[in-house]
Amino acid sequence: MIDLDKLDIKILTELQRDASLTNVELAARVNLSPSPCLARVRMLKQSGLISKHVTLLDPRRLGLNVNVFIQITLEKQTRATGLDMRPVAAHRAALTCHRRILVGLRGDIGMRTAHHALPPTVEWPRPEASI
């Protein structure tokens, strides 16, 4: 586990809000000079805490105005089906996909999808070993 101080947490918070900040902008936001700020960001990357930078798309601007929350119950649970959600998560409409681990929730997998309109039916892949 990595020991983070308040400054590291400030840096991570700012980067989570906007990963496109330049080092100078980031340093100004966390009240640090650019050189030590860059050193801290490099340390956070080298430690693996910052694994990658991503671009988030706005689903509404893509015309995806309907969010659908889906609960998936597996017919049979094996180590393979219980842990490998890649076939479900790879569906083109999937935004998020996670295993249900909280007591009281129905379904084995929770999924959020986005659509242009409410789909009458959705065809899901049914690979033999995964669902």
Residue 109 DSSP label: E
DSSP letter string, 58-108 = -GGGGT--EEEEEEE--SS--HHHHH--HHHHTSTTEEEEEE--STT--SS
Read off the pTM. Answer: 0.58
Cα separation, 36 vs 22, in Å, equals 14
- Whether residues 38 and 77 fall in one domain: no
- Whether residues 63 and 108 fall in one domain: yes
DSSP helix/strand/coil, 113 = strand
Each residue's pLDDT, cut to its tens digit, for the chain (131 residues) gives: 788 999 999 999 999 999 999 999 999 999 999 999 999 999 999 999 999 888 888 888 888 888 888 777 766 665 555 556 677 777 777 777 777 665 555 667 778 888 887 666 666 555 554 44
Amino acid at 122: V
- Whether residues 101 and 66 fall in one domain: yes
Number of residues that make up the chain: 131
- Whether residues 105 and 67 fall in one domain: yes
- Domain span at residue 28 reads 6-46
Residue 98 pairs in a beta bridge with 110
